[in-house]
Amino acid sequence: MSRAGNFRVEAQCDRTRARAGVLETAHGPVKTPAFMPVGTRATVKAMAPFELKAIGVQVILSNTYHLYLRPGPEIIAEAGGLHRFMGWDRPILTDSGGFQVFSLSDLRKVTDDGVHFQSHIDGSRHFLTPELAVRIQEQLGSDIAMCFDECVPFPCNEKESARAVDRTLEWAERCLQAHEREDQLLFGIVQGSVFASQRRRCARSLVEMDFPGYGIGGLSVGEPHECMYGMLDELAPILPGGKPRYLMGVGYPPNLVEGVARGVDMFDCVLPTRLGRNGTVFTWKGRMNIKNSIYERDFSPIDPECSCYACRTASRAYIRHLYRSGEILASRLCTWHNLHFLQKLMERVRQAVFDGTFEEMRREFHESFREGEKAR
């Protein structure tokens, strides 16, 4: 059975649900709000562990589905666990693999017992159950593990979503029964698509199971941002105030700020690394595609307000040249910048909560980011 982590709220905004806290894990504390870069296959693309530390990354996410298929949890366990395998000594969260399995579409079949699926690598057949998802994550040795859940696409009808909520709750109970590692926190996951009554039902049932933390899944899958915010508003008064809340798969800067305003503590997403590999970078004045021709003779940094390695050492013109030349350094510099930007954003948000200025910071950020988006 999971043992609750020590999560404490240190400051709260008196006009929103924004809060600053600390989550204790077996590999150290995580100051919240926190953004977790995604290291799907035991690596954050284009970044080394010491570089992630240099920009202030506290915790990373790895993917159970991909590591199960390759190299296999037995090999990682033999190496001493995921931390030693990848050379990262700070906290790690592993997802259950559910989202990846359900995104396979034609390659999987969902039953009440679990999910039959074919590997996207070699076509081999597998059967992933809640119990197996827990066992894999225990072998990986992550600090935070996630329950196996069923994530439905957007749009879907109420009947499909209700059936997925039923399975998610049944599987959550099975995950709790199977979980044995006392040094690993097991989070439940709230599903329910964009149906408020289903979200509330799922959340209340999971709260009764007394998980040490709660993920919010099935958002940022194509629904309008306002629908996402509406679901967070529905869940905020239900999820326990003394436990962390994790909005899964969200990494667009305005969504992070609005998530914090609605009581979310943790986020993850592939967006900053994926955009970085393709030449799109975040700035305090919106997104920028650095491959555009207007930057050919622009010798200023990506963002004059940024102190990351890329902004200190490289110009827009130089990075654009690297992309056009097919150089790997282009992806590394833009990925470095994007991850640094999100870490600094979370630091600013956290400090604003402590200072009692979150609402002002929130408004100023949106105005600057939105006006920059329009200008480009």
Q: How far is the C-alpha of 9 from the C-alpha of 65, rounded, in Å?
A: 32
* Cβ neighbours for 145, distance < 8 A, ≥ 6 positions apart: 93, 94, 96, 134, 137, 138, 179, 181, 184, 185, 186, 187
The catalytically annotated residue of 143, 149, 268, 303 is 268
Q: Which of 20-34, 43-57, 108-122, 248-262 has the lowest mean pLDDT?
A: 108-122
pLDDT greater at residue 375 or residue 329: 329
Dmax of the chain from CA atoms?
Answer: 61
State the pairing for strand pair 286-289/280-283.
antiparallel
Report residue 24's pLDDT band, with 50, 70 and 90 as the boundaries: very high
- Helices 358-375 and 328-355 pack at an angle, to 10 degrees, of 150
**In sequence order, what E strands does 134-234 have?**
144-146, 185-190, 214-216
Could you report the per-residue pLDDT of 72-126, keeping only the tens digit for each? 999 999 999 999 999 999 999 999 988 887 777 777 888 999 999 898 899 999 9
Q: Which of 111-120, 190-199, 234-243 has the lowest mean pLDDT?
A: 111-120
Could you report the per-residue pLDDT of 269-282, keeping only the tens digit for each? 999 999 999 999 99
Mean pLDDT of 43-63: 98
pLDDT greater at residue 198 or residue 373: 198
Q: How far is the C-alpha of 323 from the C-alpha of 60, rounded, in Å?
A: 27
Structure tokens at 247: 């909005």
The pLDDT value given to residue 268: 98
Could you report the per-residue pLDDT of 149-168, keeping only the tens digit for each? 999 999 999 999 999 999 99
Q: For the chain, list the domains and their CATH numbers.
A: 7-268 (3.20.20.105), 276-375 (no CATH)
The catalytically annotated residue of 95, 149, 265, 303 is 95
The pLDDT value given to residue 148: 97
Q: What is the average pLDDT score of the chain?
A: 95
Confirm if 62 and 140 have CB atoms less than 8 A apart. Answer: yes
Confirm if 339 and 272 have CB atoms less than 8 A apart. Answer: yes
Question: Is 303 an annotated catalytic residue?
Answer: no
207: left (phi over 0), alpha (psi -120 to 50) or beta: alpha
3-state secondary structure of 146: strand
Peptide bond before residue 71 is cis, with ω within 30 degrees of 0:
yes
* Cβ neighbours for 48, distance < 8 A, ≥ 6 positions apart: none
- List the beta bridge partners of residue 287: 282
Question: Is 233 an annotated catalytic residue?
Answer: no
pLDDT greater at residue 99 or residue 57: 57
Q: How far is the C-alpha of 206 from the C-alpha of 187, rounded, in Å?
A: 10
The pLDDT value given to residue 2: 37
The pLDDT value given to residue 3: 42
Could you report the per-residue pLDDT of 341-372, keeping only the tens digit for each? 999 999 999 999 999 999 999 999 999 999 88
Report residue 1's pLDDT band, with 50, 70 and 90 as the boundaries: very low
State the pairing for strand pair 245-247/214-216.
parallel
